[in-house]
């Protein structure tokens, strides 16, 4: 099993931070507009503000998944590792299929690596 800084949980958390950083950089204008509209009910169903909102939303659950994976790695809990990485693999495959030029490839690699390591977990 890897140490905490090279573990798959840490990598998922880095991916979450990267996703948020790209979102804040790329959607600056839309986010400013959401804030200037006082946040509550500021995001319509469709359009640029909606795109910005939904781009940023996965960062938090991805961070939480990374935390779960880190805890499962420390506890040598192969069942949790398999479950989280299988779900992640499915999401990453869907993402890669729909949006080949994206960061979904990184998630795919982390999930595959995690599944391989979960098989080796005692």
Query: pTM to 2 decimals?
Result: 0.88
**CA proximity to 52, closest of 74, 35, 65, 72:** 35
pLDDT at 72 over 80: yes
Per DSSP, helices labelled H in 1-122 are: 8-26, 28-36, 48-56, 59-75, 78-98, 104-119
* Sign of the Cα pseudo-torsion (6, 12, 18, 24, in order): negative
Are the CB atoms for 4 and 10 separated by under 8 Å?
yes
* Sign of the Cα pseudo-torsion (36, 39, 40, 45, in order): positive
pLDDT at 1 over 60: no
DSSP string, 7-35: SHHHHHHHHHHHHHHHHHHHTHHHHHHHH
pLDDT tens digits, 27-59? 999 999 999 988 788 888 999 999 999 999 999
Q: Residue 28: what pLDDT?
A: 96
pLDDT tens digits, 98-119? 999 988 999 999 999 999 999 9
Return all residues near 103 (Cβ < 8 A) that are at least 6 apart: 15, 18, 19, 22
Domain ranges of the chain: 8-119
């Amino acid at each position: 099993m890897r140490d905490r800084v090279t573990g798959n949980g840490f990598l998922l958390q880095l991916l979450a931070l990267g996703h948020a950083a790209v979102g804040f950089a790329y959607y600056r204008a839309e986010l400013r507009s959401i804030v200037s509209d006082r946040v509550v009910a500021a995001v319509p169903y469709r359009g640029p503000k909606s795109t910005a909102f939904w781009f940023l939303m996965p960062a938090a659950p991805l961070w939480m998944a990374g935390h779960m994976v880190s805890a499962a790695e420390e506890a040598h809990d192969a069942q949790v590792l398999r479950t989280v990485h299988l779900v992640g693999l499915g999401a990453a495959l869907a993402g890669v299929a729909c949006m080949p030029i994206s960061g979904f490839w990184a998630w795919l690699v982390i999930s595959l690596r995690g599944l391989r390591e979960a098989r080796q977990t005692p």
